[in-house]
Amino acid sequence: MKTHSAGKSKRTIFLIAALGIVVLIFVAYKMYTKPHRSVEQERGVEVTAVQLFDAFTQNEAQANAKYLDKVMEVTGKVSEIGVNLDKKPIIMLETNDMLFGIRCTMADSLLAIEPGSTVTIKGICTGYLSDVVLTSGIIVENKE
């Protein structure tokens, strides 16, 4: 009798494990194929580059609660333009800090943006790492 119940236990464990693997594969598939957020379709929280940076440097926890994972419309003066390791365009917006600012990874190529021009960028705030980081950025307004 022992061998019969031991075989039944192994089969039950195998079925539970197989079911768990199927559920994990399904969840991973759903997460992978989930549509990306479109910042164009969402209304952004309007703020200046200086206000956003100061909020994070003065109280990061409070700024995270208010801005993290939100679509932002940040207006500021372009301090530099470059590309990241993935060859995506980056725009840095000036703040009152000499070294750090708002780092915006853009969703598409830059058209007529020059350092020194004032722009409004709409993007998703992903947090603070010396710079405040925005991703999926698009240009809303360019006030050269």
Amino acid 51: pLDDT: 96
Model confidence at 110, pLDDT cuts 50, 70, 90, reads: low
Cα–Cα distance measured from residue 140 to residue 114, given in angstroms and rounded to the nearest whole number:
15
Model confidence at 26, pLDDT cuts 50, 70, 90, reads: confident
Average pLDDT over the chain, rounded to whole? 86
Structure tokens at 92: 């840095």
For the stretch 44-88, pLDDT in tens is 889 999 999 999 999 999 999 999 999 999 999 999 998 888 888
Cα–Cα distance measured from residue 86 to residue 89, given in angstroms and rounded to the nearest whole number:
9
Which residues, 6+ apart, have CB-to-CB distance to 127 below 8 Å? Answer: 64, 68, 133
For 71-81, b/e burial (b = at least 16 CB within 10 A) is bbbbbbbbeee
Model confidence at 1, pLDDT cuts 50, 70, 90, reads: very low
129 C-beta neighbours (distance < 10 Å), count: 10
Tell which residue, 131, 85, 90, has the closest CA to residue 108.
Answer: 90
How would CATH label the architecture of 45-142? Answer: Beta Barrel (2.40)
Amino acid 72: pLDDT: 92
- Phi-psi map region of 40: left, alpha, beta (phi>0 left; psi -120 to 50 alpha): alpha
Amino acid 52: pLDDT: 95
Amino acid 15: pLDDT: 87
Extents of the domains making up the chain: 1-34, 45-142
